[in-house]
Structure 1
Amino acid sequence: MKYFPIKGLALVAMLAWGTASQAQSSVQVYGLIDVALAYDKQPGKSAVTGVENGKMTTSYFGLKGSEDLGGGLATVFALESYFRADTGSNGRFDGDGFWTRSSYVGLQGRFGSVRLGRNSVPLFTSTLLFNPFGDSFGYSPSIRHYFASGTVTGDSGWSDSIAYISPNFSGLTVNLIAAAGEGNGGPNVGGSLLYAKGPLGLTAVYQRVRKGAAIADTTTWQLGSSYDFDVVKVFAQYGQVKNVSAQPDIEYKLTDLGVAVPLGGGKVLAAYGLLDPVLGAKRETLSLGYDYNLSKRTDVYLVLMRDELDALSAGKSLAVGIRHRF
């Protein structure tokens, strides 16, 4: 098990400061820590109680920056690493790479942004934007059904990839990504249209995963929407995933609905997700929580979840946690 020492983080910060001073670049160290006291019973398994990392957001730290090249052109880069704050170990799990959240360098200008390295996929970004629990692998039915239930393959970020983000055209952006196969199948391709203006948000996403001999080939499409009525923000998603490596093909239909209601300095969050395969066990997940802001950078939360998978005992989870952004 590997650990990232405090001295190491201090050295990264000092190097970043030195680089910013010499090259007159903008460099920032940032991150998020999320730890909770949790009761967790997955469907068909025994309950576990303890201190857990990343129930609402996976803890991470990062280093990003830019250099003005003149004429409206800039170099951009990011290095971002997941870690488990409950144990001090790096990565989301044992064997996870160090910079697996993001590690890219690219150019940005009036044409948009082009990034080379490891980039987040548009499907993951759209999934987290259009559900009230965001990128919570612990309690977002949508995130759990797409990325933690054996449906979508290829992870939430792709290595050996090139990503393009267009300029904002009156609220509309185009996001494209391709990951080179490099002799290991592939390539992977994906893209999205994302619209956000005023109270309305819309998205349409497609991706195809073929990279990796041990990874199933899948195709996924998703539609998402949100509307903020001030007194309540509503979310809806519908998508389909097809595993073309299975014989015969396995298809999944995914429906997710949610609301976020401002209340007393925080928000009441509720979401329901249905994962309905053409063949196999149906999964229904219901989450309810309250997220209270102690400041602009710190919030505390209480979340309950019921997770039902056909033919197994129901999953039941509860967490009381704190998040801090720096």
Structure 2
Amino acid sequence: MKKQLGSIALLVASSAASAQSSVVLYGRVDGGIEYLNHIANGNGGSSSLWSAEGGNWGTSMFGLKGSEDLGGGTAAIFNLETGLQIMNGTSGGGRMFSRRAYAGIKNETWGQLQAGRNLFIDSDGIWEFDPFVQQAVSSASLVRGRSWQQTSNNVEYHSPVWNGFDLQGQYAFGNQASGFNNGAAGEFGRSNGIMLTYHSPLFDVRGIYDELRDSNGRLSNIFQASREYFVGGNLRVQKFKFQAAYTHYFAPDTPAGLADRADHYWLGATYQATPKWAVTAAGFYIHVGDGAGDVAHDPGSHAMLYALGTTYNLSQRTFLYGTVAYVNNSKNGTFSVFATPRDSSSPTSPLAGQSQTGAYVGMMHMF
């Protein structure tokens, strides 16, 4: 009997040793100085602003992620992550974990399945094809932050890589008895998307289709709740990386008479001059289709955004950055160099038809 108990204890100890687990604390801290001119001041004129700002190159954040080896190439995983504003010490926009909060199972053969809160699928997918990697000045600027969103109640699948191809699908439930497509007040409604990517040493290509609904379950605003069709590509040639993309937005539930579609294009390149120093230049163009506008909807208009930026690595975890940008609006356009919602209570947008220049410098540290 003692021999049997000893064998069982040895088996349990061996199983515990083989079921390896890990938990990692990670994050990044970003802070600097910003300048912006031609800000509409509410009195029919415009003003300039110098300010200390955090998160211009990328959102400051911290998170926890971990895994437990379940054997047979399968692991249990989790990720908890929240955004920070280092200039005033606030975090999460009222949430303990504003960006990610999910648990899942990952297998080497069939992929990863997870459930919880996460970046919306285009936010997770567009940055890799954006020359300015979703900085404050980036592909998000002329779409008023539509590609920066997070959604709750997500169920997601990530495939393994098959001959360079991988697939990601996301489905966010509204969780409301009042209607299957509805969401809670202040939240998105039922939303979903699918993303297909091909990676190779020379180039990458990605396509995304998604639907982001408002709390009433409607596709009612091209830059807030709409359908999105995205295709983007990267090309690597020696020290250069060239990036281009096209996005079409369509909001069929927009109130009659208001603009309900837009097309977004960009082209950019990064030159890796040395292992520490890189320079990026890009142009972004938005064309909003015919229709009127109101406080929440952009009217038919167009704008061109030019951006030039640089980074210099002080170490593997710390770098300095600087970006300058200029936006030229058409007669009815009020787009900012930054991704300001049209109905924002603290806008950075210029007056209709007015151009705008913005710049920022700062430092990012990752841990």
TM-score range, shorter chain: 0.7 to 0.9
- How many residues of Structure 1 are paired with residues of Structure 2 in the alignment? 297
Q: Does 1:272 align with 2:283?
A: yes
Pick aligned residue for 1:41 from 26, 37, 41: 37
Tell me how far apart the structure 1 counterparts of residues 144 and 353 of structure 2 sit (CA, whole Å).
20
Q: Which residue of 2 aligns with 1:258?
A: 268
Q: Does 1:314 align with 2:351?
A: no
Kindly indicate whether the alpha-carbon contact (under 8 Å) linking 2:236 and 2:242 is maintained by their aligned counterparts in 1: yes
Q: Which residue of 2 aligns with 1:235?
A: 243
- 291-300 or 205-214: bigger deviation: 205-214
Gaps of 5+ in 2: 1-16, 41-45, 177-181, 184-188, 291-299, 331-351
Return the letter of the residue paired with 2:313: N
Q: Which residue of 2 aligns with 1:144?
A: 141
Pick aligned residue for 1:97 from 70, 74, 95: 95
Q: Which residue of 2 aligns with 1:160?
A: 153
Q: 1:42/1:259 Cα in 2 relative to 1: closer, same or farther (>3 Å)? A: farther
Return the letter of the residue paired with 2:102: Y
Kindly indicate whether the alpha-carbon contact (under 8 Å) linking 1:119 and 1:162 is maintained by their aligned counterparts in 2: no
- 279-288 or 197-206: bigger deviation: 279-288
Tell me how far apart the structure 2 counterparts of residues 207 and 29 of structure 1 sit (CA, whole Å).
31
Tell me how far apart the structure 2 counterparts of residues 198 and 285 of structure 1 sit (CA, whole Å).
30
Return the letter of the residue paired with 2:69: D
Q: Considering fraction of residues, name the structure with more strand.
A: 1
Q: Does 1:66 align with 2:67?
A: yes
Listed one character per residue, the Cα deviations across residues 43-78 of structure 1 (whole Å, up to 9, x for unaligned) are 645322121011110111000000011111110000
Listed one character per residue, the Cα deviations across residues 296-322 of structure 1 (whole Å, up to 9, x for unaligned) are 111101110112333332121111110
Kindly indicate whether the alpha-carbon contact (under 8 Å) linking 2:322 and 2:360 is maintained by their aligned counterparts in 1: yes
Shift of 1:42: 6.2
Pick aligned residue for 1:201 from 199, 204, 212: 204
- 179-188 or 156-165: bigger deviation: 179-188
Pick aligned residue for 1:286 from 277, 287, 306: 306
Q: Which residue of 1 aligns with 2:213?
A: 210
Q: 1:212/1:39 Cα in 2 relative to 1: closer, same or farther (>3 Å)? A: same
Gaps of 5+ in 1: 1-20
Tell me how far apart the structure 1 counterparts of residues 149 and 38 of structure 2 sit (CA, whole Å).
22
Return the letter of the residue paired with 1:132: P
Return the letter of the residue paired with 1:315: Q
Kindly indicate whether the alpha-carbon contact (under 8 Å) linking 2:39 and 2:48 is maintained by their aligned counterparts in 1: no
Q: Which residue of 2 aligns with 1:182?
A: 175
Q: Which residue of 2 aligns with 1:17?
A: none
Tell me how far apart the structure 2 counterparts of residues 54 and 39 of structure 1 sit (CA, whole Å).
14
Q: Which residue of 2 aligns with 1:127?
A: 126
Listed one character per residue, the Cα deviations across residues 5-37 of structure 1 (whole Å, up to 9, x for unaligned) are xxxxxxxxxxxxxxxx9x841100000111111
Shift of 1:214: 8.3
Listed one character per residue, the Cα deviations across residues 152-206 of structure 1 (whole Å, up to 9, x for unaligned) are 48x5221001010000112211010000121225421101001111021100000
Return the letter of the residue paired with 2:75: A
Tell me how far apart the structure 2 counterparts of residues 161 and 214 of structure 1 sit (CA, whole Å).
16
- 107-116 or 33-42: bigger deviation: 33-42
- 313-322 or 243-252: bigger deviation: 243-252
Give me the TM-score of the superposition, normalised by structure 1: 0.86
Return the letter of the residue paired with 1:263: A
Q: CA RMSD in A?
A: 2.1
Q: Does 1:113 align with 2:112?
A: yes
Tell me how far apart the structure 2 counterparts of residues 41 and 284 of structure 1 sit (CA, whole Å).
17
- 59-68 or 262-271: bigger deviation: 262-271
Q: Which residue of 2 aligns with 1:78?
A: 79
Q: 1:178/1:239 Cα in 2 relative to 1: closer, same or farther (>3 Å)? A: same
Tell me how far apart the structure 2 counterparts of residues 286 and 277 of structure 1 sit (CA, whole Å).
18
Give me the TM-score of the superposition, normalised by structure 2: 0.76
Return the letter of the residue paired with 2:203: L
Return the letter of the residue paired with 1:145: L
Kindly indicate whether the alpha-carbon contact (under 8 Å) linking 2:203 and 2:236 is maintained by their aligned counterparts in 1: yes
Q: State the percentage of identical aligned residues.
A: 28
Kindly indicate whether the alpha-carbon contact (under 8 Å) linking 1:170 and 1:197 is maintained by their aligned counterparts in 2: no
Segments ≥4 residues shifted beyond 6 Å:
none
Listed one character per residue, the Cα deviations across residues 61-118 of structure 1 (whole Å, up to 9, x for unaligned) are 0000000111111100000000101111113xxx442312111000000210011001
Q: Which residue of 2 aligns with 1:26?
A: 22
- Return the index of the structure with the highest Cα Rg: 2
Q: What secondary structure does 1:257 align onto?
A: strand
Q: What secondary structure does 1:288 align onto?
A: strand
- 23-32 or 77-86: bigger deviation: 23-32
Tell me how far apart the structure 2 counterparts of residues 132 and 79 of structure 1 sit (CA, whole Å).
27
Tell me how far apart the structure 2 counterparts of residues 42 and 75 of structure 1 sit (CA, whole Å).
51
Listed one character per residue, the Cα deviations across residues 232-267 of structure 1 (whole Å, up to 9, x for unaligned) are 110000010012221346110000111000124211
Shift of 1:282: 1.1
Q: Which residue of 2 aligns with 1:244?
A: 252
Q: What secondary structure does 1:83 align onto?
A: strand
